[in-house]
C-alpha cells in the first residue's frame, strides 16, 4: 500500500473548496481498482487534483493507467495509441486505450487537470513538485508561453522560492506557475500550466519594490498578472507560497539626485498635483537623505480642509505610504515605499521635510500655521476654550489640529469638541486661530 502524505507541500497547494466529483488513478499497480481510496486524488480547486506519494515503487516502466470518476462509466486514457508518459511531462487524456509509463518514475506527485475541453495528467518528481516559475514577458522567455519561464530556487528550510527578475521598459508583466506545460502538444499546454498559476487581482496589477504582494490563484481566470512599476533593471524576488505572498527588492538600488513634493503645494486648487509645480528636496552629499524647508501644504477643496501630497523622483517614480490617505505626525518618522498612494490629513501649514531612502522613512516638522491660511485671534474667530473642550461660534465648518499637526476634527459642523489639555489650531474659512485648553 502507498502512504499518502499530508497535502501541505508549498508548491502545489491551492484553496480548498466544495466540489461535486472525485477522481481516482487506476492501473496495474492496484489491480485496476476504479475507486481505491489509496489512489484517490486530493481536490485542490475546480480544475486541479493531486496525489502525493511517500513510496514510488508502483510506478514502473510499462505500467498502464487510467483516471476514473470512481466507476468505469467515466474514465480517461489515451484517445488512440498508448501515450508513453515521462516524468515532468504533461499528457492529454481522453477515452480509449490506457496510458502507459515509459520509464520508472521517482514520483512525488501525480496531478490531474479536469478542464471542460481538455484533460491532462503529469507525473512530478520530487524536484519538480517543489518548483515555481516566473512566466511572462519579464521571465527569461520574454513572452507569455506555457513552456518556458524563470525557475526560482526552493529553500526547504524556509519554504520560500527566491531568484531574480529582469524588467525592461517594454517587458514588465509576469505571473507564477508551479508547472511548465510540455509533452505531446509541443509545449503549448496552457491548460496544465494554468492549473497551477498565480497572479494579481486584475490584469497587469501594478506592484512596487519593497511591498508585500498578495498572490491569487487563477481558478480558471488566466488574464490576471503583475506589472512591476520600476525602472528597468534586475530585481530580487522572494515568494512565500504557503502564505500566498511575495516581495521584490532592488538588487543594486539607485537613488535620484532630487526628489519633488507634489500635490497640494500651491494655493491655486486647479494647479495642485501639477507635476511642474513640484518643490525640490535636495539630496545630502553623504547619504540618500533628501531635505526641504518651509514647504507649505495647502487646503484642498476635496480633502475636507487638509492637504495631500506624494513624492516624485527625478526619473518619474512615485513614493508614498503603504496605505492610501496615511496621516503624518509632526516630528515622527513614518514608512515610505514605492507606490501611487499619497499622504493625507496633513494640516494646512508649513513643514520641514526629511526623506531617508536608505531607511525608507519620511518625517515632517510643523513650522507654523502658514500655507496660505490667515492667522487671526481666537476671539476674532469666535472660538473659546472651556474645561477640556473647544467651543466654536458661527456656522462655518471647522477643522482642528493639535500641536503635533494631528487632525482632531475635519470639516466638522459640530460646535463643541471634547479634547485633552493642550494647544490647538482651529481652521475655518481659510483662517486659523490658536487656542489653549486647560
Residue ranges per structural domain of the chain? 24-127, 131-250, 258-368, 374-437
List the one residue out of 229, 200, 208 whose CA is nearest residue 335: 208
- What is the CATH topology of the domain spanning 24-127? Immunoglobulin-like (2.60.40)
Note the CATH architecture for domain 131-250. Answer: Sandwich (2.60)
**Distance (Å, whole) CA 6 – CA 2:** 13
Instruction: Say if residues 224 and 213 touch (Cβ distance below 8 Å).
Output: no
pLDDT tens for the 438 residues of the chain, in order: 333 332 223 333 333 334 568 999 999 889 999 999 999 998 876 677 888 877 656 677 788 889 999 999 888 887 665 555 666 677 778 777 888 877 777 777 888 887 656 677 888 777 777 789 999 999 998 888 888 899 999 998 898 999 999 998 888 899 998 888 765 554 456 766 776 788 887 788 888 888 888 888 754 445 688 988 887 889 999 999 888 899 998 888 878 888 999 888 877 777 777 777 789 998 998 899 999 988 888 776 555 556 788 998 877 788 888 778 788 877 788 888 888 888 875 666 788 899 998 888 999 887 765 545 566 777 888 888 888 899 888 888 887 877 655 677 877 888 899 988 887 888 777 677 888 888
**Distance (Å, whole) CA 230 – CA 429:** 41
Question: C-alpha cell of 432?
Answer: 486659523
Query: Which residues have a Cβ under 8 Å from the Cβ of 47 and sit 6 or more positions away?
Result: 113, 114, 115, 194, 195, 219, 220
Instruction: Say if residues 108 and 77 touch (Cβ distance below 8 Å).
Output: no
Q: What is the pTM of this model?
A: 0.62
Does CATH number 2.60.40 belong to domain 374-437? yes
Instruction: Say if residues 128 and 94 touch (Cβ distance below 8 Å).
Output: no
CA distances from 152 to 11, 41, 139, 316, 379 (A): 11, 27, 11, 30, 67
Asked whether the domain spanning 374-437 has the same topology as the one spanning 131-250, the reply is yes
Q: Which CATH class is domain 258-368?
A: mainly beta
Amino acid at each position: 500500500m502507498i502512504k499518502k502524505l499530508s497535502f501541505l507541500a508549498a508548491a502545489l497547494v491551492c484553496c480548498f473548496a466544495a466540489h461535486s466529483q472525485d477522481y481516482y488513478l487506476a492501473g496495474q499497480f492496484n489491480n485496476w481498482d476504479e475507486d481505491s481510496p489509496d489512489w484517490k486524488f486530493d481536490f485542490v480547486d475546480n480544475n486541479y487534483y493531486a496525489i502525493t506519494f511517500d513510496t514510488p515503487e508502483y510506478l514502473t516502466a510499462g505500467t498502464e493507467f487510467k483516471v476514473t470518476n470512481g466507476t468505469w462509466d467515466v474514465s480517461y486514457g489515451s484517445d488512440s495509441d498508448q501515450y508513453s508518459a515521462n516524468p515532468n511531462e504533461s499528457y492529454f487524456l481522453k477515452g480509449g486505450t490506457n496510458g502507459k509509463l515509459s520509464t520508472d518514475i521517482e514520483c512525488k506527485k501525480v496531478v490531474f487537470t479536469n478542464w471542460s475541453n481538455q484533460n491532462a495528467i503529469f507525473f512530478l518528481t520530487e524536484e519538480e513538485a517543489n518548483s515555481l516559475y516566473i512566466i511572462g514577458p519579464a521571465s527569461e522567455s520574454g513572452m507569455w508561453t506555457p513552456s518556458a519561464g524563470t525557475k526560482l530556487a526552493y529553500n526547504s528550510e524556509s519554504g520560500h522560492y527566491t531568484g531574480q527578475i529582469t524588467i525592461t521598459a517594454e517587458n514588465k508583466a509576469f505571473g507564477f506557475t508551479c508547472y511548465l506545460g510540455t509533452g505531446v502538444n509541443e509545449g503549448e499546454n496552457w491548460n496544465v500550466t494554468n492549473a497551477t498559476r498565480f497572479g494579481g487581482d486584475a490584469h497587469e496589477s501594478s506592484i512596487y519594490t519593497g511591498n508585500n504582494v498578495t498572490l491569487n490563484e487563477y481558478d480558471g481566470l488566466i488574464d490576471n498578472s503583475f506589472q512591476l512599476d520600476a525602472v528597468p533593471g534586475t530585481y530580487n524576488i522572494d515568494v512565500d507560497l504557503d502564505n500566498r505572498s511575495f516581495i521584490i527588492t532592488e538588487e543594486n538600488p539607485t537613488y535620484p539626485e532630487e526628489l519633488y513634493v507634489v500635490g497640494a503645494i500651491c494655493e491655486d486648487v486647479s494647479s495642485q498635483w501639477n507635476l511642474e509645480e513640484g518643490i525640490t528636496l535636495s539630496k545630502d552629499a553623504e547619504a540618500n537623505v533628501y531635505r526641504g524647508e518651509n514647504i507649505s501644504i495647502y487646503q484642498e477643496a476635496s480633502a475636507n480642509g487638509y492637504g495631500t501630497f506624494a513624492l516624485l523622483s527625478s526619473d518619474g517614480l512615485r513614493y508614498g505610504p503603504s496605505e492610501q490617505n496615511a496621516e503624518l505626525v509632526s516630528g515622527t518618522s513614518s514608512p515610505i515605499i514605492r507606490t501611487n498612494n499619497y499622504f493625507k490629513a496633513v494640516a494646512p501649514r508649513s513643514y520641514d521635510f526629511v526623506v531617508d531612502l536608505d531607511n525608507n522613512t519620511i518625517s515632517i516638522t510643523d513650522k507654523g500655521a502658514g500655507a496660505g491660511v490667515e492667522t487671526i485671534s481666537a476671539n476674532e474667530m469666535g472660538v473659546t476654550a472651556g474645561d477640556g473642550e473647544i467651543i466654536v461660534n458661527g456656522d462655518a465648518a471647522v477643522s482642528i489640529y493639535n500641536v503635533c499637526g494631528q487632525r482632531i476634527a475635519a470639516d466638522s459642523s459640530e460646535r463643541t469638541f471634547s479634547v485633552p489639555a493642550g494647544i490647538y489650531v482651529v481652521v475655518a474659512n481659510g483662517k486659523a486661530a490658536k487656542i489653549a485648553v486647560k
